[in-house]
Amino acid sequence: MNKAITDGLVLTPPAFADGLAVWSSEDGTPGGVTYDAIGTAAVLSGDVDFGGTLELLKTDAVQRVRFTGETPILPGCYLRVTARVKAVSGPLPSVRIAGWAGQPGNTHVSGLVETGASVPLTGYGEVVEVSAIVGSGQRTGVDMVWADPVVYGHFGLDLTGPTGGVVRIDDIVVEDVTSVFHRTMMDWVDVRDYGAIGDGATDNTGAFQAANLAAAGRGILVPEGVYHLADSVTFEYPARFAGTVTIPDDRHLILRRNFDLPSYAAAFGDEELGFRKAMRALTVFSDHESFDMGGRRLEVTAPIDMAAATGQTSYEIRRIIRNGQFNVVPGTAWDTDSQTSTASYDAGTPDQLTNVANVANIAVGSLVEGTGVGREVYVTATNIGAGTLSLSQPLYAAPASQSYTFKRFSYVLDFSGFSKLSKFGLTDIEIHCQGVASGILLAPSGETFQIKDSFVTKPKDRGITSHGLGCQDLQIDRCQFVSDEQAVAATARVSRAFNVNANDAKIRDNRFQRFGTTMVLHGNGHLIVGNHWFQGDTVTDGPRVAGLVFTQPNVKSVVTGNYIDNAFLEWTNEHDATPDFAAEFSFGGLTITGNIFTVNDAANWFSWIVLKPFGTGHFLQGLSVTGNTFKSLNGTTDRVERVDDSIATLVFGSMRNVVFDGNTFNGIGQVTQNPVTVAFDQASEDIDWQVDVSGWLPFGGKAREVTSLVAEGAITNASDTSVFAMPFVTTESGASQSEVTLTWPEPVKGRVHVTARVDKPV
């Protein structure tokens, strides 16, 4: 700061050679005696030390020399008054800088220090320089503290001591020295003052660290230039970047008080690079549990390798990225890498392909496609020397050798470089994939990855992918997933919102819009609660595809309070290398309750709950479907559930613990109920009554058990006499074993209510 420059102030008085009429022998105020009227003062030229100079005979005890002009005193501005004096003859006086403090109205401000330190003249011809600083603040080095109401001063010097001596005085100088004080006046320090050089090459590590120490609570300014840092630096105080920094990949810059994307983008001169550097700081420094993107939109030109950015391979401390958008910039960096290779498969080592041709070309995280490969099977690791690769799931019916296709999608946030990542989360984030990129690839192992209150918009292939067990206890809360296939027919879509391989996913209060498949879930212990997913299209009477797919038979999971729209729940065991039933749990452990199921303009054979065994011998051993609403619009749906027996069917004689109860049906051809109570009327006398309950029984199962039989009205024989005997019951009657036979002791007729079950409750 220099007011003489910034405000155009003229501070230094005119030279003595310009005339003595502006130099007072009193206090400098109007009406005082000036030196042009005093015979003891004269202007000389050609002095060997001063050139033009004032020669003065000291006649008063305090001989004053004051400029009659008003030198302004501004708040925050500091002035230095300097004079050079030498004795010529006679007694030797002392000299000091002095002034007169004035306020509006041209009156004196009393009670202030108006003189600087006194310096004696000790010899003739010896030049002595005296100076004093005047300003508004009580700071070290300030001789005269003139604060409000002072607005101007008359400055000059005093000669004190004995009279009769002759002195010569050089032109008096008044200069702005605010810059001497501004480092402590302002709330920031400049790294250049501590040796920083912004040439892009000099190592400024020491200078930055020194500036940080000197800041002591103030901010730190990095001015224009490129400042190289060879080592890590932590700024404890707020930093402002007019210039930029460079730093090696294995070093970090920590902005402790402004740990946000705007600051890191300014520091590195690039938002994307700034984000990567911030991720390193987030994981090496313990003072911040989250990184604030500051509401900024980050233009992402290529996948962000999060492990490379952080410099970590394993990390299990809670960290969050919040409050911003990742916006994909289309380009070749997002292209899918597709490889085709032959490989061998043996169900004895179900998670491995061997004899893999060109295994070095296959990227970890690639989707595997081929005969006998279930949905969402990925490469979790490769062993180039052995020619093998590891799979996220077994294959259910793969030939001993075949050609496989491996597709490596490009993800905006790619965590696959971590060996393990736990407790990482995204909050209030949008990942806008622009239809050219996928969203998030999780680490191969880890727990409790969380994304909440966020959007994954228009992923080309996948929203969130787990290619290993990094999805353990995955939490997706209050998010929206919007596909890029809005106008594509449901059966032609290829996108997935997300998949899970491990256990205990919590999927709550989300909205999923028109994906090929919304979620593919392996593992068990999942909570699917309060979500809305819809996968309809504009095809009249068109087929619908699965929205929620379970790929493990015994899921121990809950599907509750969801809005399931134009999609069905498919339950398979496709991730089983030996899918035929053996010594294992079969299909069970699933609760479907309190959901809204709807469909419109779909083929009548559509069903919302589809069970598809990929091997023989399986059965239901625990399914509860209660309190749901099923509704079909613009057409009738035959029934709400079915078995897809394209590969295998169920063993209906082994069903147990199946409940279909308390559901409502609208536009459904046949209600499903278990246990079911039906009214049966026998119009003519017969010993055997055939009660058909097949329509009501879930999945077309057998009538395995009758739990109650109640006659309504009299049961009568041919003579119209009431018969009080009870029949015995034969279950699993009829060609499809879905009927119940009531056998009476004699031919009778009448009405009964029969409660039958498709299962054996335990």
pLDDT at 583: 86
The answer on 171 and 66 residing in a single domain is yes
pLDDT digits (tens, 9 = 90+) for 427-443: 999 999 999 999 999 99
In a domain, 628, yes or no: yes
The answer on 152 and 57 residing in a single domain is yes
10 Å CB burial of residue 306 (0-12, 13-18, 19+) is buried
In a domain, 109, yes or no: yes
pLDDT digits (tens, 9 = 90+) for 52-101: 999 999 999 999 999 999 999 987 788 999 999 999 999 999 999 999 99
Of the candidates 182, 215, 246, which is a domain's last residue? 182
User: Comparing C-alpha atoms, which of 537, 426, 538 is closest to residue 478?
Assistant: 426
pLDDT at 712: 96
Helix runs in 291-335, H state only: 306-310
**730-734 long-range Cβ contacts below 8 angstroms, 24+ apart:** 731/702, 731/703, 731/704, 731/705, 731/706, 731/756, 732/653, 732/702, 732/703, 732/704, 733/690, 733/703, 734/690, 734/692, 734/694
DSSP conformation class of 124: B
Of the candidates 366, 382, 408, which is a domain's last residue? 408
Q: CB–CB of 502/469 below 8 Å?
A: yes
In a domain, 635, yes or no: yes
The answer on 552 and 654 residing in a single domain is yes
In a domain, 470, yes or no: no
The whole-angstrom separation of Cα 466 and Cα 195 is 49
In a domain, 631, yes or no: yes
The answer on 150 and 44 residing in a single domain is yes
The answer on 660 and 534 residing in a single domain is yes
In a domain, 430, yes or no: no
Residue 554: partners with Cβ closer than 8 Å, 6 or more residues away:
524, 584, 585, 586, 587, 588, 589, 621, 622
Return the SS3 of 189: strand
Q: Which two tokens stand for residue 18?
A: 């310009």
In a domain, 23, yes or no: yes
Confidence of residue 2 (pLDDT cuts 50, 70, 90): very low
The number of domains in the chain is 5
Confidence of residue 756 (pLDDT cuts 50, 70, 90): very high
pLDDT digits (tens, 9 = 90+) for 343-356: 999 999 999 999 99
Does residue 1 have a pLDDT over 60?
no
In a domain, 475, yes or no: no
pLDDT digits (tens, 9 = 90+) for 709-746: 999 999 999 999 999 999 999 999 999 999 999 999 99
pLDDT at 358: 95
CATH code, 35: 2.60.120.260
Of the candidates 182, 202, 232, which is a domain's last residue? 182
Q: CB–CB of 701/759 below 8 Å?
A: yes
The whole-angstrom separation of Cα 329 and Cα 434 is 8
The whole-angstrom separation of Cα 704 and Cα 653 is 7
Q: Write the DSSP assignment of 343-371 as a string of letters.
A: EEE-TTSTTEEES-TTGGGSPTTPEEEST
The answer on 165 and 191 residing in a single domain is no
Q: Helix 271-284 to helix 261-268 angle, to the nearest 10 degrees?
A: 120
The answer on 174 and 38 residing in a single domain is yes
Return the SS3 of 224: coil
Q: Write the DSSP assignment of 30-86 as a string of letters.
A: TT--BGGG-TTEEEEEEETTTEEEEEEE--SSSEEEEE-S-EE--TT-EEEEEEEEE
pLDDT digits (tens, 9 = 90+) for 564-581: 999 999 999 999 999 999
DSSP conformation class of 462: E
Please give the average per-residue pLDDT across 284-299, as a whole number. 93
10 Å CB burial of residue 530 (0-12, 13-18, 19+) is middle
pLDDT at 92: 96
pLDDT digits (tens, 9 = 90+) for 478-497: 999 999 999 999 999 999 99
Half-sphere exposure of 656 toward its Cβ, with a 13 Å CA cutoff? 7
Amino acid at 186: M
Domain of 277 in residue numbering reads as 186-288
Rounded to the nearest integer, the mean pLDDT of the chain is 95
The answer on 101 and 12 residing in a single domain is yes
The answer on 148 and 105 residing in a single domain is yes
The answer on 174 and 74 residing in a single domain is yes
The answer on 615 and 683 residing in a single domain is no
CATH code, 380: 2.40.10
User: Comparing C-alpha atoms, which of 450, 462, 455 is closest to residue 497?
Assistant: 462
Sign of the Cα pseudo-torsion (195, 199, 200, 201, in order)? negative
pLDDT digits (tens, 9 = 90+) for 163-219: 999 999 999 999 999 877 765 556 788 898 788 899 999 999 999 999 999 888 889
Residue 543: partners with Cβ closer than 8 Å, 6 or more residues away:
490, 491, 602, 603, 606
pLDDT at 137: 77
pLDDT at 4: 40
The answer on 235 and 205 residing in a single domain is yes
